[in-house]
Amino acid sequence: MPAYNFSGAKLANIVQGPIISLVKEVVQSYHNNLDILAAVGAFYTVRKCLQLLSGCYSLIKQQVFPVLFSNTNTILKYGEWAVVTGSSDGIGQAYAEELASHGVNIILLGRNIQKLQNVSEAIISTYGVKTRIIVADFNKGLEVFPSIKEALEDVDVGILVNNAGVCYDYPACLTEVPEEKSMEIINVNIVAAVMMVYVVLPGMLQRKRGAIINISSGTCWKPVPLMTVYAASKAFLDSFTRALHYEYSSQGIFIQSLTPAFVVTKMVSYAGILRMKSLFIPLAREYAHSAVRTIGVSLRTAGYWSHSIKMFTAHRMPEWLWVLIWTYVNKRCRAEYLSKEKDN
């Protein structure tokens, strides 16, 4: 058997050769991968910068453009009359009054005739425009719409504001909400809005002009625990509106999804902090004054400067953080409401 006699130098060369080769391959691979990672990083950074610029432009468009370009002529070009659902109080009443201040005649639609008459009289005495009243309870479903359609047959409806809405009495998980309440939310927030579009859109298409404003909610931006059915109904309305725009904008119809955050109204009366005016919670008339100016300008907007900041932030916030915040807020509101109910 032959004997192998390696010197130390030879052995070192034999061992080091493959190691050096391996190191060279690793270094080369690292440099190649580093180039790839640098390219990916640059692409990601540029993409994020473009998204930020796009968001800033959208924010400016929502709040600055209406001030520069919106005026009474912009509102009146759609027609002489506006139909506002849920107009007996809250945002609906304030929106109707704001439209009337631009010289638009108002058709008030709601279920409480006395409240509607009060709003009608106030609008006539303050703004000198014509008004009509249609009494209808949207919770009754499809049966109410033939009479609404008949009442609007001879009217040049230029603007439809789908404002009527129902919310939870207080934040709660789904099975804690009565089935009747969930069905009421679906009937009023979804069915009524869709059917009112069926009622007025054909006339708008004949005249080749019109504006439809569907008032959704900031709860449509991302999932909202403890407001599940309400938030989902508003997400439907937002999606419905945006798709409707693509179908009919080429025929002269302006269709807007309005997504307000909290406004001081009876709808949020379950929590004391939401009934107080603040920087981010305006009065209904303040909100309506800002929102009406976005007609003809912004297709999807929060309608008010501080709400637009919230919307901008929400779209860039991870969903888990959004859900965490909303869960905390709704649990606090729920606890406050139940505590008051217990004391009473």
Rounded to whole angstroms, how far apart are CA atoms 222 and 205? Answer: 33
Both tokens assigned to 317: 């916030």
Residue 230 and residue 122: Cα distance in Å, rounded? 31
* C-alpha distances in Å from residue 320, one per residue of 29, 115, 283, 317, 325: 37, 42, 30, 8, 9
Grouping H, G, I as helix, E, B as strand and the rest as coil, residue 264 is strand
230 part of the active site? yes
Residue at token pair 């439209």: 99
d(CA 314, CA 80): 37
Do 196 and 239 touch, CB atoms closer than 8 A? no
Q: Which of 78, 95, 230, 337 is catalytic?
A: 230
Any alpha helices (H) in 104-227, and if so which ranges? 113-127, 145-151, 179-185, 192-207
Do residues 189 and 154 touch, judged by C-beta distance below 8 A? Answer: no
Task: Give the Cα separation of 89 and 238 in Å (integer).
Answer: 22
For the beta carbon of residue 23, count every other beta carbon within 10 angstroms. Answer: 11
Q: Which helix (H) or strand (E) holds 245?
A: helix 228-248
Q: In 3-state terms, what secondary structure has residue 213?
A: strand
Q: Which of 33, 334, 287 is nearest to 163 (CA)?
A: 287
- Residue 169 is given by DSSP the state S
Rounded-to-integer distance, Cα 117 and Cα 127, Å: 15
Cβ(59)–Cβ(250) below 8 Å? no
Residues ≥6 apart with Cβ < 8 Å to 103: 72, 75, 76, 127, 129
Residues recognised as catalytic: 230
